């Protein structure tokens, strides 16, 4: 069954398709994690939220601000309501569905549409306020050896067309140029971006291995977040493999060993 598990929280309080364990703040890496009261202040108005985004460095934040300012006032306020920790559980439930699902969640007792997709085309076609996506991304050719190959996958959570949290992983491997079967798992390059003030994302580890004739590459992140009653923490892995001549990927929530099925490009 094609399921996509979220472990971002609150649109990005995100992405894991199992109900998170509630843990005490003392057991988390909470340095820099905002309290419920601090987060509520940032999400109090579009101006307050933009002030927080403007404090971040990077071209992605600048592009996000332009997109946010293009939203109507009602859309901006809906965006903030979706990110609010009070709606953590409702947003989480949006990701507990198969790819291709379009449904609704209750945000402040209002039905808000969501979709779970596996392509940029589907994201544009569905055009729902909340979108969870695991998609193939462009990977530039950087060949050191005639058999070297790589592919990239991106896992995102978006609100009103604006990407709030993004996980990106590029897996590099080597193939036999005659059979196209993998011979070496070379490296994994992992990046992320996050514009949800209630979430902190850290690169945890990357790994590669050859097993049963397949090349595997895994990137794992740790996500800590502020919810309405407590702090929560999860690990998210984006797993990639070369199986014969097929590039495949899946999402795994390392707590509870929940994972999606392998999906080909």
Query: 150-201: per-residue pLDDT in tens?
Result: 999 998 889 999 999 899 999 999 999 999 999 999 999 999 999 999 888 9
The larger pLDDT score, comparing residue 75 to residue 258, is at: 75
Whether the CB-CB separation of 248 and 241 falls below 8 Å is answered with yes
CB count in 10 Å sphere of residue 191: 13
Kindly give, in sequence order, each residue whose CB lies less than 8 Å from that of residue 37, ignoring residues fewer than 6 positions away.
none
Q: Could you list the beta-strand ranges (E) of 195-256.
A: 199-211, 214-226, 231-243, 246-253
**If DSSP codes are grouped into helix, strand and coil, which group holds residue 86?**
helix
Would you state the pLDDT for residue 26? 39
Report, as an integer, the average pLDDT of 23-30: 44
The larger pLDDT score, comparing residue 260 to residue 14, is at: 260
- Record the pTM: 0.81
Q: Which residues pair with 162 in a beta bridge?
A: 159
- The CB-side HSE value for 120 (13 A sphere, CA atoms) comes to 7
> Rounded to an integer, what is the distance from CA 189 to the centroid of its chain?
16
Query: 86-97: per-residue pLDDT in tens?
Result: 886 677 667 666
pLDDT for residue 260 is more than 90? no
pLDDT band, residue 8 (cuts 50/70/90)? very low
**If DSSP codes are grouped into helix, strand and coil, which group holds residue 73?**
helix
Rounded to whole angstroms, how far apart are CA atoms 8 and 89?
Answer: 11
pLDDT for residue 15 is more than 80? no
Report, as an integer, the average pLDDT of 3-22: 37
- Which helix (H) or strand (E) covers residue 104, if one does? strand 102-107
Report, as an integer, the average pLDDT of 227-254: 82
pLDDT band, residue 4 (cuts 50/70/90)? very low
Whether the CB-CB separation of 238 and 155 falls below 8 Å is answered with yes
Q: Which residues pair with 91 in a beta bridge?
A: none
């Amino acid at each position: 069954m094609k399921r996509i598990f979220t472990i971002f929280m609150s649109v990005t309080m995100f992405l894991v398709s199992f109900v998170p364990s509630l843990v005490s703040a003392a057991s988390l890496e909470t340095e820099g994690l905002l309290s419920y009261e601090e987060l509520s202040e940032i999400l109090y108005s579009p101006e307050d939220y933009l002030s927080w985004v403007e404090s971040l460095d990077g071209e992605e934040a600048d592009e996000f601000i332009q997109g946010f300012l293009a939203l109507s006032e009602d859309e901006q306020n809906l965006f903030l309501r979706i990110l609010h920790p009070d709606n953590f559980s409702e947003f989480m439930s949006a990701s507990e569905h198969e790819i291709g699902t379009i449904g609704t969640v209750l945000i402040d007792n209002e039905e808000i549409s969501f979709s779970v997709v596996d392509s940029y085309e589907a994201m544009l076609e569905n055009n729902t306020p909340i979108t969870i996506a695991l998609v193939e991304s462009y990977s530039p050719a950087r060949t050191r050896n005639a058999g070297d190959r790589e592919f990239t996958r991106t896992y995102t959570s978006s609100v009103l067309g604006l990407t709030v949290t993004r996980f990106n992983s590029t897996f590099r491997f080597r193939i036999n140029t005659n059979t196209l079967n993998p011979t070496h798992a070379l490296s994994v390059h992992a990046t992320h971006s996050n514009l949800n003030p209630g979430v902190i994302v850290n690169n945890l580890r990357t790994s590669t291995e050859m097993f049963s004739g397949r090349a595997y590459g895994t990137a794992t992140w740790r996500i800590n977040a502020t919810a309405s009653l407590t702090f929560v923490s999860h690990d998210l892995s984006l797993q990639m493999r070369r199986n014969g001549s097929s590039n495949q990927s899946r999402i795994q929530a390392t707590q509870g060993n929940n994972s999606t099925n392998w999906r080909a490009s």
